[in-house]
């Protein structure tokens, strides 16, 4: 019930291409869906987040698309750059839960120059 499924496990994209990472969930009590970016040797950093009353959120080259009926959300990175190479985690939070976030399994993105 708490699980968030993330795919693909790894992704290789050419510079300038579009990177797409998908996540799916079952628990309809989730009310907040952040994406974290983690570089090697660093902690995760919040990249962008969305709430279920919004179908899309864009910040620069990063866009979250949210499909409430399908219980899916995805991260799109437009004009992918080598500096975007990192591990990306989707996550979800149940309102009122002290445990905060349930993380997806992660996607290792490599953007080739």
Partner 1 sequence: DTEVTQTPKHLVMGMTNKKSLKCEQHMGHRAMYWYKQKAKKPPELMFVYSYEKLSINESVPSRFSPECPNSSLLNLHLHALQPEDSALYLCASSQGLAGGPRTGELFFGEGSRLTVL
Residues that bind partner 1 (CB under 8 A): 32, 34, 36, 41-46, 49, 51, 87, 89, 93-101, 103-106, 108
Minimum distance of partner 1 from residue 67's CB (angstroms): 21
Considering the complex, state which of residue 14 and residue 27 has its C-beta at the smaller distance from partner 1. Answer: 27
Please, which residues have CB within 8 angstroms of residue 3's CB and are 6 or more apart in sequence?
Answer: 25, 26, 27, 102
Minimum distance of partner 1 from residue 8's CB (angstroms): 13
> What is the distance between the alpha carbons of residues 14 and 81, in angstroms, rounded to a whole number?
8
Considering the complex, state which of residue 44 and residue 77 has its C-beta at the smaller distance from partner 1. Answer: 44
Counting every residue written for the chain, the total comes to 113
Considering the complex, state which of residue 17 and residue 87 has its C-beta at the smaller distance from partner 1. Answer: 87
Structure tokens at 75: 């991260």
């Amino acid at each position: 019930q708490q699980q968030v499924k993330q795919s693909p496990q790894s992704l290789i994209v050419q510079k300038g291409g579009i990177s797409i990472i998908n996540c799916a969930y079952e628990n309809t009590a989730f009310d907040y869906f952040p994406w974290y970016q983690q570089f090697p040797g660093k902690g995760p950093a919040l990249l962008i987040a969305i709430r279920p009353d919004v179908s899309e959120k864009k910040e620069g080259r990063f866009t979250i698309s949210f499909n409430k009926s399908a219980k899916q959300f995805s991260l799109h990175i437009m004009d992918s750059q080598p500096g975007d190479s990192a591990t990306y985690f989707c996550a979800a939070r149940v309102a009122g839960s002290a445990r905060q976030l349930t993380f997806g399994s992660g996607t290792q993105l490599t953007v080739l120059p």
